[in-house]
Amino acid sequence: YGSYLVWKELGGFTQVALVPLGLYGMQLALNWAWTPIFFGAHKIKLAMIEIVMLTGTVAATMVSWYPISRTATLLMV
């Protein structure tokens, strides 16, 4: 719902929405990738690196969303 609020506020997939929604898409991909890395491949160190990258991407997403929609940012928390 948070990504929808950002998308709606920025008028859809516009140039302005590229960074906030791109970061969101990246964190979704990283979130999805962690399970096969950790449980499937049993690559503990790689999974740790991936989770650190995920945490940074989530933080960057929240920072980029805050000026657009405080509600969307709070939903990410």
Query: What confidence tens digit (pLDDT) does each residue in 14-55 have?
Result: 999 999 999 999 999 999 999 999 999 999 999 999 999 999
At position 11, the amino acid (one-letter code) is: G
Q: What's the mean pLDDT in 53-67?
A: 97
The SS3 assignment for 28 reads helix
Q: What's the mean pLDDT in 57-64?
A: 97
pLDDT score for 72: 97
pLDDT score for 61: 98
Tokens 């449980």: give the residue.
39
pTM of the model: 0.90
First to last CA, the chain: 13
